[in-house]
Amino acid sequence: MPPKNNKGGAKAKETSEAKQDNDNSKSQTVFERAQAAYDLTRPPYDKEREELGGLHKLSTVEKTAYASWFCTAPDELNFLSKKAQKELWKQVNETNRPLRRGQIDQPKRDQWGKDRLGRNIGDYTVLQYERRIEKQARLTGLKALGRSFASKRLYASRGLVDSSTGEKYTLTEEDIQAERDRRMEMAALKKDLYGEKMGPYSTDPEWDDVVPVPQMEPEGALSAIAYPEDYAESMSYLRAVMAANEHSPRCLRLTEHIISMNPAHYTVWLYRFANIQHLDMPLLDEIQWLNGVALDFLKNYQIWHHRQLLVDHYHPIIAGSPDEVKRFAKSERAFVMAMFAEDAKNYHVWSYRQYLTRKLGLWENEEHGELDSIEGMIDDDVRNNSAWSHRFFLVFSNPRYANPDSQATEADPGVPADIVDREVAYAQAKIQLAPQNQSPWNYLRGVLVKGGRALGSVKGFAEQYVQNLGDVEKEEVLSSHALELLADIYEEAGDKGEGGLVLAEAGREVGSHTLRVLGVEAEVSEGG
Amino acid sequence: MELQKARHVQYFQRCYTTVLPSLYTSMDSNRLLLGYFTLAGLDLLSSPSSASASANAGSAPAPPQSLVPAADRTRLRDWVLGQQHRNGGFCGSPGHVQPDTVKRGWNEAVPYPAVNDTENVSLPGTYFALLTLGLVANEDADSVATAFRGVNRIGTLRWLKRLQRPDGSFGEVVNADGSISGGRDMRYCYMAATIRWVLRGNEVGKDLDIDVDGMVQHIRKSQAYDGGFAESHMGESQAGYAYCAVAALSMLDLAAADAGKPNRYLQAGISNTAAMIRWLVSRQIVYTGIEEGDSDEEEEEEEEEGKDDTPAVPTSEMASLSVTGTVLGGFNGRPNKVADTCYAWWVAGALHVLSDALPEVASLDRASGREFLLQKTQSAYGGFGKDAGSPPDLFHSYLGLAALATMAGEKTEEGLGLFDVRLCLGKEAASRVDRARQFWAPASESDTADA
């Protein structure tokens, strides 16, 4: 039914709510309007009968009128004889009531369906309904244009000639951009009208040749996750291009998008690397890009393997030039230090640092030596156990003298005595700064084992921290770790006398005593 | 403080029935892990042994109804099997399952075969899938006997063998070209040893079995100078890797079932057991009460550490800190780190595996460890957080329960069932996994088992 309002649509939109209320034809709902139209097609007594709830509520005249009206319906009329028909028309004339009859079915409230919010469209105002129709028409138009774009793309790909112009079909960047814009508009319209979502890939004509692979999973599956917007769609495109083994710039961009949402996706990284190799991308650019990603996702694990893979491939390129290796080592160390500024004990970063040391041969204490750097970190935080551990690795895995297969817990005869001396002295100096710090005590033990020396060789040093043992009045324990070490020293020497005493004191039963001793350590450490 | 059982039940049921928040998107490649923790948590809170310690000791308590609904178990099993790769092994997530064919083309999409995607098979995914299949089997013999029906045993074992490097270590995935990706990570050793045990990899002959001695040597080399275990050779010791190392060795021993040398691999794989125990025990520290709800505590604490001008603490003061009253004994994963819920599990678990096998292994202080978990990291919403004041997450919630169950041992923690420390799973569920392995037993053995 055409709008009865003679105002223009645009003007109607500007009218205020109150104005619209007065404007009957626009403020009534779609259902009300249809009902009103239906009412115009039937006599008033039929409406009255319906509203009152039965024929018996009508007046006698109206009852007669209703009966006559009912019988004048074309189907009913045929059942009557000619004579009866004549009688009927006579009665109609006498009653003198309207006898109109239309072709419209009685409207139902839900016949227009529901919108994306589950609202009955029959309850829309006419104005709202008209806007909806306009959007639907717009969407249909856009779809038609999209189809002609797809045809043109097909013709262009087959090298066909446009018979109207005599020229070959070509697809320009403008065409693609126009289609992209159309899809954006269509996506917005679909979302608005039907609540359908079109993500960035289904709206991009560049991805039209990819049929996404949706996640096959039953409804209500275990540990389902409320994915962020676009995640499910991106993943379905990733599966599709991975299954097709496509390597292209768009795939590289897709991997970046997935990584930004799920950096722990264990195959997207491998796939990204395959793309980089196929496209012959500069590895240094990728390493640069990775710096930012690593700083965004500090706890991520996969990033570090990707980095190792990149370095594995980059190193042979620069290996011939010591200067380039030096420059690369410097920039990598700068990045590693930036990671440590966020978390100086990040296990993955330390692991990578070991790898880098081996790969680039950063053992010796020279201009860019690791040992200098690590001493700086221990000076910053003498309790950074990771830094201690890295120092141990630097000193005792140095291929210049160390046996590469030597375990951390066994002696390595290849390590020169002066290096063992140096490390013992280093650990002792740091213990003096903080006697209850577990890290240098562990380090000291480790150095002695590596150097093939008896624990007893530091007995005098340990005794400084445990005085007058057993004498309740004068006893002084400055470090529980010294106490433990002494116990082991006495055990090593087979001394059951004083050693037994220390053993009892050190509480080798562990349980409460160790807890109590270590409690001091925890307090020292956590109290800052 | 008590275990707030009702709240934990609510927490795990919430994880079971509702969609996990989008924060978990970074775990989307490990949905089998999330599913396993959810189901294993529900199972541990309602296993038959979880009721044994209840108050009415006189009358035998009725066995509790399992919180993993019987009606859902077939569906859960199908969900797990749906993630099996066509060549064997399991993907980590439904999102990693690739179709056989893929369609391409501008207009009509033409299907053609998808490329070989071996890299989607994940070691953690396979580990969690197999344990979950045993976990969701019903207690009846038929259900247990068919729990592993549909698992591609030989394909999985073949893949597992390809995942091992010449140095004995395991990677995470095998690429189509046969190369191995992933770190040299002790966790992979543990998972590989467990998968081998489940699939009876020791009974398929040398061609299909992994290199056990290589794996043991790799583990042995990973012990750090301080006695703990590192990710791999010359790394920093960390309690999680310590558990994985001893549990891996123990799983190898379990598969060998050598009555003469029941701990052959455990002894061969640890060069200095005393140092390891010393290191493990010293992971328990007194929690000194960093303010709750201070989310930056770790960072602050780490920044503040530094030049040490701490005066030496006299013994008398140490004594005043002794275990009277409620001392909170948290666990850290590395020396000089702060306490964290999951390290209670990794440390207690590692010590438990050792003490099951070796004489005179020191134990932890259960009372203070328990108090730390229950008072500090047990969440008011159910579940456990990483540390005091952290919101609960599935990982720490399950490992918090695992730690409590492990420290309790045979005595059981009130409300929790008995625990199998090697599989990190309730005892009854672990027994179902074990019995379900009969599916692959050599014919003669399974005949006698049936009879």
| DSSP notation for B376-419 | IIB-TTSSB-SSTTPPP-HHHHHHHHHHHHHHHGGG--TT---E
pLDDT of residue B300: 36
Q: Tell me: pLDDT of A330 over 70.
A: yes
CA distance B449 to chain A (A): 34
**In chain A, what percentage of residues exceed pLDDT 70?**
88
* pLDDT bucket at A293, cuts 50 / 70 / 90: very high
Interface test with A, best of B322, B327, B336 (most A CBs within 10 A): B336
Which chain B residues have a beta carbon less than 8 Å from that of A240?
102
pLDDT of residue A74: 80
Residue B35: closest CA among A228, A300, A263, A221: A221
Nearest CB to B312; choose among A228, A270, A478: A478
Nearest CB to A221; choose among B94, B284, B306: B94
Interface test with A, best of B79, B103, B305 (most A CBs within 10 A): B305
pLDDT of residue B117: 94
* pLDDT bucket at A500, cuts 50 / 70 / 90: low
Question: For residues A446 and A415, is the Cβ–Cβ distance under 8 A?
Answer: no
pLDDT of residue B52: 58
CA distance B220 to chain A (A): 8
* pLDDT bucket at B290, cuts 50 / 70 / 90: very low
- Is there a contact between B236 and A231 if contact means CB atoms under 8 Å apart? no
- CB pairs below 8 Å between A and B: how many? 310
Question: For residues B198 and B206, is the Cβ–Cβ distance under 8 A?
Answer: no
Chain B, nearest residue to A483 by Cα = B315
CA distance A228 to chain B (A): 6
Instruction: Write out pLDDT tens, residues B78-94.
Output: 999 999 999 999 999 99
Which residues lie closer than 8 Å to A216 by C-beta, 6 or more apart? B82, B94, B97, B99
pLDDT of residue B111: 87
Q: Tell me: pLDDT of B178 over 60.
A: yes
Which chain B residues have a beta carbon less than 8 Å from that of A306?
none
* pLDDT bucket at B301, cuts 50 / 70 / 90: very low
Q: Which of residues 284-323 of A touch B (CB under 8 A)?
A: 297, 301, 304-305, 309
- Is there a contact between B337 and A235 if contact means CB atoms under 8 Å apart? no
Which residues lie closer than 8 Å to B309 by C-beta, 6 or more apart? none
Chain B, nearest residue to A305 by Cα = B182
Question: For residues B396 and B384, is the Cβ–Cβ distance under 8 A?
Answer: yes
- Is there a contact between B183 and A436 if contact means CB atoms under 8 Å apart? no
Expressed in percent and rounded to 5, the helix, strand and coil fractions of chain B are: 50, 10, 40
Joined together, the tokens standing for residue B361 give 């292994």
Minimum mean pLDDT among A342-351, A369-378, B247-256: which range?
A369-378
Instruction: Write out pLDDT tens, residues A342-372.
Output: 999 999 999 999 999 999 998 876 665 788 8
Instruction: Write out pLDDT tens, residues A73-101.
Output: 888 888 888 898 898 888 888 888 888 88
pLDDT of residue A270: 96
Residue B367 identity: A
Which chain A residues have a beta carbon less than 8 Å from that of B234?
354, 392-393, 396-397, 408
Joined together, the tokens standing for residue B56 give 């009415």
Q: Tell me: pLDDT of A37 over 50.
A: yes
Mean pLDDT of A105-126: 90
CA distance A440 to chain B (A): 10
- Is there a contact between B224 and A389 if contact means CB atoms under 8 Å apart? yes
- Is there a contact between A225 and B20 if contact means CB atoms under 8 Å apart? yes
Residue A184: closest CA among A173, A206, A200, A207: A200
- Is there a contact between A215 and B94 if contact means CB atoms under 8 Å apart? yes
pLDDT of residue A503: 52
Among A67-81, A93-107, A307-321, A510-524, the range with the most confident prediction by mean pLDDT is A307-321
pLDDT of residue A76: 82
Q: Report the Cα B59 to chain-centroid distance in Å.
A: 35
Which chain A residues have a beta carbon less than 8 Å from that of B107?
150, 154
Chain A, nearest residue to B227 by Cα = A409
The whole-angstrom separation of Cα B168 and Cα B150 is: 30
Chain A, nearest residue to B300 by Cα = A528
| DSSP notation for A431-472 | HHH-TT-HHHHHHHHHHHHHTT--GGGGHHHHHTTEESTT-T
Mean pLDDT of B56-73: 79
Chain B, nearest residue to A447 by Cα = B225
Chain B, nearest residue to A376 by Cα = B306
Mean pLDDT of A431-456: 96
Mean pLDDT of A246-258: 97
pLDDT of residue A199: 87
Q: Report the Cα A137 to chain-centroid distance in Å.
A: 36
* pLDDT bucket at B289, cuts 50 / 70 / 90: low
Q: Is the ipTM of this complex over 0.95?
A: no
Q: Tell me: pLDDT of A509 over 50.
A: no
* pLDDT bucket at B318, cuts 50 / 70 / 90: very low
The whole-angstrom separation of Cα B86 and Cα B89 is: 8
* pLDDT bucket at A4, cuts 50 / 70 / 90: very low
- Is there a contact between A223 and B31 if contact means CB atoms under 8 Å apart? yes
Instruction: Write out pLDDT tens, residues A406-430.
Output: 999 999 999 999 999 999 999 999 9
Mean pLDDT of B52-72: 73
The count of C-alpha atoms lying within 13 angstroms of the C-alpha of A365, restricted to the half-sphere facing its C-beta, is: 10
Instruction: Write out pLDDT tens, residues B144-167.
Output: 999 999 999 999 999 999 999 999
The count of C-alpha atoms lying within 13 angstroms of the C-alpha of B160, restricted to the half-sphere facing its C-beta, is: 37
| DSSP notation for A362-400 | --SSSTT-HHHHHHHHHHH-TT-HHHHHHHHHHHHS-TT
* pLDDT bucket at A118, cuts 50 / 70 / 90: confident
* pLDDT bucket at B179, cuts 50 / 70 / 90: very high
Does any CB of chain B come closer than 8 Å to the CB of residue A210? Answer: yes
Question: For residues A291 and A251, is the Cβ–Cβ distance under 8 A?
Answer: no
Question: For residues B125 and B28, is the Cβ–Cβ distance under 8 A?
Answer: no
pLDDT of residue A368: 58
Does any CB of chain B come closer than 8 Å to the CB of residue A267? Answer: yes
DSSP conformation class of B327: -
**In chain B, what percentage of residues exceed pLDDT 70?**
87
Does any CB of chain B come closer than 8 Å to the CB of residue A43? Answer: no
Q: Tell me: pLDDT of B103 over 50.
A: yes
* pLDDT bucket at A400, cuts 50 / 70 / 90: very high
- Is there a contact between A519 and B321 if contact means CB atoms under 8 Å apart? yes
The whole-angstrom separation of Cα B244 and Cα A18 is: 73
DSSP conformation class of B108: S
Instruction: Write out pLDDT tens, residues B360-386.
Output: 788 888 999 999 999 999 999 999 999
- Is there a contact between A235 and B95 if contact means CB atoms under 8 Å apart? yes
Which residues lie closer than 8 Å to A336 by C-beta, 6 or more apart? A349, A352, A353, A356
**In chain A, what percentage of residues exceed pLDDT 90?**
56
- State phi, psi for B121 to the nearest 5 degrees: -75, 125
Q: Tell me: pLDDT of A314 over 80.
A: yes
Place of tokens 């006599």: A43
Mean pLDDT of B269-294: 81
Chain B, nearest residue to A477 by Cα = B315
